Amino acid sequence: MVIKQFFYLPLWFFRARLMKKRVPLQVVLFITDHCNLRCKHCAESGHAGTVMKSFDTVRTELEYAYGRGARFVDFEGGEPMLWRDGEYTVNDLVSLAKKTGFYSVTVTTNGQLPIRGCAADSVWVSVDGPRDVHDDIRGAGTFDILDRNIRDSGLRSLSINMAVNRINRNAVAETVQYARENPLIKSISINFHTPYPGVEELALSQDERCGVIDEVLSLKRQGYQVMNSRSGLKVMKKRGFDKSCWVSAFILADGARLDECPGKILGICENCGFCMAGETYCVLRLKPDTLLSALRLRMS
């Protein structure tokens, strides 16, 4: 499988960068909008609780995304670990994606359900800060549950992600330290709250974001295992940089198939907090540290 990736990735870059072909490399596939939390930063549509896609629907969507060129898939929700279709579980979707031809499969979870035995190539658990801060955002007791599930997971490729907002902006260093001290956590990814309708007030100002980025860059220099590349973080300090978000296709819970991030439809790209935008910018410009970070993230 690694050999296939080494052949495909240069071909994808040639088509994307030199031939100007907008070929997605990843698909973010929302398999349900059911969720077991009501987080302060989450737009209401993220946990509407109306959609649980069927196994056959996901099969069709995976085949569509693969046919468009995507080779990496991220299952999201809602809470993807809640997904069921009869006897089928998320692990069956992971197996289905691999049979379809995807190189690696990611599951992003809030960590409130056991993740031991999850068959995904990588599992990302959302952590918003130390216990008091995380619980303030996601509900009392949620940090202890995710911490226990991480420690009980036995997974070799588990990482955490943090979306920085006005509530947890002063807890970044402590969260990065938590990642270092937990032997089951491979790395931490930093993002920023994106002002979707209804939760705009939690977004940082540009100056505040730049301050947090400087802090994260300092932590990286100290050897903390932050997944974001230095080049990608520096790009996120700028406003108006060229975003190539077509690298990730999106298939929403309602079945809508988007060629780019839903934020573009909403007109909030200028204030985008998804640091993958900065990473993609640097990958397409062959920044060495970003390429190395991308390979660590995606190569199985």
Q: What residues are paired with 23 via a beta bridge?
A: none
Residue 239 structural domain: 24-298
Q: Is residue 257 in some structural domain?
A: yes
Say how many C-beta atoms besides its own lie within 10 A of residue 10's C-beta. 10
Q: Is residue 1 in some structural domain?
A: no
CATH code assigned at 293: 3.20.20.70
Please name which of 243, 238, 239, 237 lies closest in space to residue 276, comparing C-alpha atoms.
243
Q: Is residue 5 in some structural domain?
A: no
Q: Is residue 19 in some structural domain?
A: no
**Which ranges constitute the DSSP H helices of the chain?**
2-13, 55-68, 90-100, 131-138, 142-151, 172-181, 206-221, 230-235, 262-266, 276-283, 288-298
CB 78 within 8 A of CB 35: yes
CB 283 within 8 A of CB 246: no
Q: Is residue 195 in some structural domain?
A: yes
CB 217 within 8 A of CB 232: no
Q: Is residue 161 in some structural domain?
A: yes
Please name which of 239, 185, 233 lies closest in space to residue 211, comparing C-alpha atoms.
233
User: Residue-wise pLDDT tens for the chain (300 aa)?
Assistant: 567 777 898 899 888 888 889 999 999 999 999 999 999 998 765 567 889 999 999 999 999 999 999 999 999 999 999 999 999 999 999 999 999 999 999 999 999 999 999 999 999 999 999 999 999 999 999 999 999 999 999 998 899 999 999 999 999 999 999 999 999 999 999 999 999 999 999 999 999 999 999 999 999 999 999 999 999 999 999 988 999 989 999 999 999 999 999 888 888 888 999 999 999 999 999 999 998 898 877 765
Q: Is residue 81 in some structural domain?
A: yes
Q: For the chain, what is the domain count? A: 1
CB 155 within 8 A of CB 57: no
Give this prediction's pTM. 0.94
Q: Is residue 84 in some structural domain?
A: yes
Q: What residues are paired with 162 via a beta bridge?
A: 190
> In the structure encoding, which two tokens stand for residue 292, read together?
């190395």
Q: How far apart are the first and last CA of the chain?
A: 8
Helix axis angle, 206-221 to 172-181, nearest 10°: 30
